[in-house]
Each structure stands twice: as C-alpha cells, then as structure tokens.
Amino acid sequence: MNAEAEELYSLLVPLSDDRLIVPRTCVAEVIRFTKPERREGSQEWMLGTIGWNGRDLPVVAFEGTIGKDVPAITGRTRIVVFYAGSSRIKSGHLGIVTQGFPQLVRVNREVLRRDPAEGWPEGAPVLCRVKMINEFPLIPHLQRLESMIVEESIQA
C-alpha cells in the first residue's frame, strides 16, 4: 500500500484554548458567525439555531460540552458546519463555533499518536486526545454530540 493511501486529509478546528481534529469529509462548510436564536432554559453550550440553506442549524460551543467556559464571540469567530451522522438532527447538519478558520492537514500513522491525557467530564463528546507533532488536538465524538443536541432540543 502506498503512503498516500494511508494519509487522511483532516482539519484542525481552533477552539478558544484547544483544537479539534476531524476528517475533512465530516465538514460541509465554514460560515461566518450569525447569532443563534436561543431557546429559553437550554444549556449554556447549546447556543441555539440559525437559518442555514433553508434549514434550522443547531449551533453549539464545544468548549461548554467539555466543562469549560463558552468562548466570547470575536471578529474571528466562525461556525463549522458538520454533517450529522444520523437522521436524528432534522437539518442533517450541526454547527460548532470556532475561533478562526480550520487548518487543512494531512495525517498518517507516523505523525499521530494517542495521548493518555484526559481532562474532560465523563460523558463529554470526546473520543480521545492525540499527539500530532507538537499539537495535542481532541478527536470529538460527533455521535455523542448529536445525541446531546437532540436531548437538549427535547428538554428545552
């Protein structure tokens, strides 16, 4: 097998004090920040919904889902639109607030190692942290995040 077949195009998604790493194919689009319409009584991390391509896109602050403060909105804030892996979210997509544009990277087994460090609450939407050269990004558990969004939508 050649080296290219073992590489994966990924995106490093900047959070307020961390980064997520996701396969490029998980992301539909990066859009400018629009203030979401918030439902009264929803969790702080559930920022609300915005209109996107004729659909209601749920938008979350990933930092809040892992027990950290929801970041302030700045001129660099964007929304990364992810494909939903199930049909449980009506729009078929979900948005995560990011602090800038994601960076395209190619990863392979030589540059990516699991890091045993944790630091997020049990049940948080994180699969693990990895070491990638001099970065330590989180791999999000997108199915768990979808479940949290659906649960929050029912309760709110």
In sequence order, what DSSP letters do the residues of 70-128 get, joined into one string?
PPPP-TTEEEEEEEPSSSSSTTSEEEEEEES--EEEEE-TTTEEEE----S-TT-SEEE
Residue 1: inside a domain = no
User: Do the Cβ atoms of 51 and 45 come closer than 8 Å?
Assistant: no
Residue 123: inside a domain = yes
User: Considering its fold, how many domains does the chain have in total?
Assistant: 1
Q: pLDDT 10s per residue in the chain (156 long)?
A: 454 558 889 999 999 999 999 999 999 999 999 999 999 889 999 999 999 999 999 999 999 999 999 999 999 999 999 999 888 898 999 999 999 999 999 998 888 888 888 888 999 999 999 998 889 999 999 999 999 999 988 654
Residue 128: inside a domain = yes
Supply the pLDDT for residue 153: 80
CATH number reported for the structural domain that contains residue 99 in this entry: 2.40.50.180
CA distances from 120 to 62, 117, 125 (A): 11, 10, 9
Q: What domain range is 73 assigned to?
A: 8-155
Closest CA to 19 of 115, 88, 143: 115
Supply the pLDDT for residue 133: 84
Residue 105: inside a domain = yes
